[in-house]
């Protein structure tokens, strides 16, 4: 191909700067098809990299259609201007958003500081376009790059309005997770809110979802006194119930089973085992307290803010905005794993981390949120949680044995003995029932710690590429052997120590070429 171009150019040098019958230049076609060699040749021959066709689009706009990263790098390295707009006000970032070329936006934002939030002639930013088209990964990246969620276009529509119009449920969910709930009740130019627009276009389920979310969002804006009245209960979840249950069962064991007068004085062995049970349960409660109050491995959120400006009004290259972009320079994103972006915390989550919807924070090595302890279970408190379960399981087994012994060899008299038997039988039934749930959790945690897996990974492994083998079956790249797995987990490895081992994961390809029509002339309400 290059040799043919060179031969044709030698025959007629004017061909290099002459458009074809459709009005498009050789540099544009080379850019569209990612022909870096031809681009280098044309640039070397003095072709203007910023020359626009009849619609105002440059070769850089064409690289955005297919996400031709190498061609874009070649053009930008030779003076291509990312700020140039076509006849509709589209920059290359607008075109990339229209075609879901997330990798292109990522490259030009991090390497060339592209403005990813500028409006076109209709007031629509790349986020408007990505939301309308339903490219959830592009929406994620633009949000983390600080694109505005509340900016309305000339029709008064925000990105959430446009995703509702097209019925793009995933894009709506991502936008709401990022904080777009503030525009759920904001009308567009016709006076309609996103839920009404979704219903008008026939997206009934999405409309119902948006209405429910809007209702919850409004309820959350109650006055602070109402929130304060329930905040403690919301934060602790069911933890007080667990404390009451354990302490209540201990009291029944001691006073109604072991020390009940009808059974007579307890033997020294019975008292010794009772003390052992109490010690197990008390140690378990101490670990429960640590599980509830410990940092489970919360990852730091990235603060939002405006770009840092110098005295000349230009962006400070070493300011906070530069640091935010630098934080996004990740091999995970370079491999195209856009799901690792958290649009709420605006960070790149390490593998095995997950955003907890209850605590509203990303947690390193997320296991699950446990309402019984009122906290997430993650890298920072998983060892406390496991020890709590095992100690309470031991206490439950000892208590059941004590109750069974009392029933077997205790007093069988009628009078007070009948009351003692009733208390002991009820306690034994409750204790055995509790042992089933505690035992299941204890065994599950023990198996997962021994295999270096988490509850979240085992329940959702099909969603995580790093848990897939070559044949698509489950494969755990983090398994280092039972002994090392257990030692790492029970030493309470902190969130800062949780890192991706480069040799354990096969990263996916960054480039994903997609065929599609050109971006010019797209209309919204279809």
| Cα angle 413-416-417, degrees, rounded to a multiple of 5 | 40
Q: Classify residue 298 by its DSSP letter.
A: B
Q: DSSP secondary-structure letter at 294?
A: S
**Bridge partners (DSSP) listed for residue 368:** 377
Assigned token pair, 293: 């109050």
| HSE toward the beta carbon, residue 232, CA cutoff 13 A | 3
Picking from 73, 75, 70, the residue whose alpha carbon sits closest to that of residue 25 is 75
Helix/strand/coil (H/E/C) assignment for every residue in 412-439: CCCHHHHHHHHHHHHHHHHHHHHHHHHH
| Cβ neighbours for 229, distance < 8 A, ≥ 6 positions apart | none
Rounded CA separation 301/291 (Å): 22
CB of 79 closer than 8 Å to CB of 59: no
Bridge-based pairing of strands 375-377 and 354-356 is unpaired
How far apart (Å, rounded) are the C-alpha atoms in residues 384 and 427? 27
| Annotation marks residue 172 as catalytic | no
Three-state SS for 314-331 is CECCCCHHHHHHHHCCCH
Q: Measure the CA angle with vertex 442, ends 274 and 484; round to 5°.
A: 115
Structure letter (DSSP) for residue 348:
E
CB atoms near residue 263 (< 10 Å): 22
Task: Tabulate helix, strand, coil % of the chain (nearest 5).
Answer: 55, 5, 40
d(CA 40, CA 173): 43
Nearest Cα to Cα of residue 47 among 84, 89, 19, 82: 19
Query: What SS3 class is residue 356?
Result: strand
Task: Please name the helix (run of DSSP H) or strand (run of DSSP E) that holds residue 441, with its range, or none.
Answer: helix 415-451
Distance from C-alpha of 524 to C-alpha of 158, rounded to nearest angstrom: 13
Degrees to nearest 5, angle at CA 300 with 297 and 305? 165
Contact between residue 10 and residue 36 where contact means Cβ atoms under 8 Å apart: no
Active-site choice (239, 277, 370, 376): 370
Cα dist from 57 to 69, 89, 326, 463, 489, whole Å? 17, 10, 30, 39, 56
Angle at 132 between CA 128 and CA 134, to 5 degrees: 115
Strands 368-370 and 361-363: unpaired
d(CA 362, CA 496): 13
Q: Catalytic amino acids?
A: 370
């Amino acid at each position: 191909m290059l040799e043919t171009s060179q031969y044709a150019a030698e025959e007629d040098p004017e061909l290099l700067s002459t458009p074809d019958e459709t009005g498009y230049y050789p540099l544009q076609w080379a850019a569209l098809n990612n022909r870096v060699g031809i681009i280098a040749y044309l640039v070397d021959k003095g072709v203007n990299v910023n020359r626009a066709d009849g619609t105002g689009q440059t070769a850089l706009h064409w690289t955005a259609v297919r996400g031709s990263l190498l061609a874009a790098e070649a053009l930008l390295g030779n003076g291509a201007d990312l700020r140039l707009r076509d006849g509709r006000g589209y920059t290359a970032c607008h075109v990339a958003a229209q075609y879901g070329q997330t990798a292109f936006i990522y490259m030009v934002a991090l390497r060339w500081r592209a403005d990813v939030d500028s409006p076109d002639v209709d007031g629509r930013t790349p986020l408007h376009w990505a939301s309308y088209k339903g490219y959830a990964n592009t929406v994620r990246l633009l949000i983390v790059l600080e694109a505005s969620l509340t900016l309305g276009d000339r029709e008064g529509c925000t990105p959430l309005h446009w995703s509702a119009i097209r019925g793009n449920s995933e894009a709506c969910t991502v936008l709401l997770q990022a904080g777009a709930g503030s525009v759920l009740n904001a009308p567009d130019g016709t006076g309609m809110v996103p839920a009404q627009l979704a219903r008008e276009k026939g997206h009934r389920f999405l409309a119902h979802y948006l209405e429910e979310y809007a209702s919850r969002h409004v309820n959350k804006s109650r006055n602070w006194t109402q929130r304060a009245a329930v905040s403690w209960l919301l934060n602790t979840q069911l933890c007080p119930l667990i404390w009451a249950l354990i302490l209540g069962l201990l009291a029944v064991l001691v006073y109604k089973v072991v020390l009940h007068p009808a059974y007579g004085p307890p033997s020294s062995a019975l008292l010794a085992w009772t003390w052992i049970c109490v010690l197990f349960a008390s140690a378990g409660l101490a670990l429960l307290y640590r599980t509830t109050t410990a940092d489970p491995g919360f990852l730091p959120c990235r603060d939002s803010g405006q770009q840092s400006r110098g005295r000349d009004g230009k962006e400070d290259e070493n300011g906070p905005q530069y640091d935010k972009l630098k934080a996004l320079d990740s091999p995970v994103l370079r491999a195209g794993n856009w799901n690792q972006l958290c649009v709420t915390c605006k960070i790149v989550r390490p593998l095995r981390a997950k955003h907890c919807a209850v605590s509203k924070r990303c947690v390193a090595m997320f296991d699950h949120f446990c309402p019984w302890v009122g906290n997430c279970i993650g890298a920072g408190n998983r060892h406390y949680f496991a020890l709590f379960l095992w100690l309470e399981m031991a206490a439950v087994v000892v208590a059941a044995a004590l109750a069974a012994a009392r029933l077997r060899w205790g007093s069988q008299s009628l009078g007070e003995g009948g009351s003692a038997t009733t208390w002991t039988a009820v306690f034994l039934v409750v204790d055995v029932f509790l042992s089933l749930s505690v035992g299941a959790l204890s065994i599950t945690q023990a198996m997962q710690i021994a295999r270096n897996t988490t509850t979240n990974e085992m329940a959702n492994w099909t969603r995580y590429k790093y848990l897939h083998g070559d044949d698509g079956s489950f494969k755990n790249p983090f398994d280092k052997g039972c002994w090392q797995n257990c030692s790492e987990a029970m030493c309470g490895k902190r969130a800062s120590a949780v890192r991706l081992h480069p040799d354990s994961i096969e990263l996916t390809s960054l480039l994903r070429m997609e065929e599609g029509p050109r971006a010019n002339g797209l209309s919204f309400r279809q």
